Amino acid sequence: MIDYRKQIVFYCLLVLLFVMPVTSFAQIQLEQPSDSSSGSHFFKKIPYKELAVPVGLITYGIVAKGNPFLKGIDEDIRDGVSRGKSGKIKLDDFTRFAGTAGVFVLDAVGVPAKHNLKQRLFTTAVSNIIMTSTVKIMKSTIPVWRPDSSANNSFPSGHAATAFVGAELLWQEYRQESIWYGIAGYAVAAGTGYLRMHNDKHWFSDIAMGAGVGILSTKIAYWLLPLVDSRLQNSKKSYVVLPTYNGRQFCLNASLQF
């Protein structure tokens, strides 16, 4: 049986995990000479109202693991959408990367992104580092059996977290061109979450938690971008991004030459 109090403690640690990198970067910037657009106004520029959705999803995911009513909702949703072994659809292994791939593909085919390639590489890398480390820590410290009982690491959904990182990246980069790019990204991310439940791999609360972590990780990456932007623009390092396919998954590999 899951200890509800331990989850609350972990939630507090999770908040610190997100806040500490932001605070550290801001402190470094404040200690250095800077122009009027950096450092001292960092925290004032953060749109804290944007925290409402990801923090709400994260809170729901945490609370659902200790609340009998919300556990019942997990069970009801599973009964309604899961098709077990006979009806599995394995597209979720690919759709989770669709949003992140779109951030680079759309610009390459002529739809201008809000930020240049270096900036997009930074936000993509940082958001995925934060998301992946958070998901791995949670999976190893909060044991939850998958609906199909195949493993004890159901919480949160890594597929959903990855998909919602991509969705938020699309929203941040292309909403000035059309909000439909972001809407499409979120639709694909939601579909990825649905498929994880359809394939009997995750509970609804796992999906909610993964979505919250993914969205918040990406927002933090964009909040950090102004603190390193001048260094990115002045950098003379070469870089390359290559798509790869290993027979099961599509991936994007980035390489920097110093």
| Distance, CA of 237 to CA of 98 (rounded, Å) | 27
Classify residue 194 by its DSSP letter. H
Residue of higher predicted confidence among 14 and 153: 153
What 3-state class would DSSP assign to 255? strand
Confidence of residue 45 (pLDDT cuts 50, 70, 90): low
Q: Which pLDDT value is given to residue 123?
A: 96
Q: 24-33, 58-67, 92-101, 194-203: which has the minimum mean pLDDT?
A: 24-33
Spatial CA neighbour of 171 closest among 160, 161, 186, 159? 186
Residue of higher predicted confidence among 28 and 105: 105
Tokens, residue 194: 């649905």
Confidence of residue 134 (pLDDT cuts 50, 70, 90): very high
| Distance, CA of 249 to CA of 244 (rounded, Å) | 8
The set of residues, in sequence order, having a beta carbon less than 8 Å from that of 93 and lying 6+ positions away, is 159, 248, 249
| Distance, CA of 240 to CA of 256 (rounded, Å) | 7
Average pLDDT in the chain: 80
pLDDT higher than 50, residue 161: yes
Per DSSP, the residues of 84-146 read: TTTT--TTHHHHTTHHHHHHHHHHHTT---SS-HHHHHHHHHHHHHHHHHHHHHHHHHS-B--
Overall average pLDDT of the 181-209 stretch: 95
pLDDT digits (tens, 9 = 90+) for 78-101: 998 887 666 788 899 999 999 999
Tokens, residue 62: 């945490």
Overall average pLDDT of the 34-38 stretch: 46
Spatial CA neighbour of 172 closest among 210, 140, 214, 209? 214
Q: Which pLDDT value is given to residue 115?
A: 95
Residue of higher predicted confidence among 12 and 111: 111
Q: How far, CA to CA in Å, does 255 sit from each of 96, 133, 239?
A: 22, 20, 5
Tokens, residue 7: 């989850």
pLDDT higher than 80, residue 42: no
| Distance, CA of 73 to CA of 78 (rounded, Å) | 8
Q: Which pLDDT value is given to residue 24?
A: 39
How large a percentage of the chain has pLDDT more than 70? Answer: 70
pLDDT digits (tens, 9 = 90+) for 198-237: 999 999 999 999 999 999 999 999 999 988 877 766 655 5
Q: Which pLDDT value is given to residue 90?
A: 86
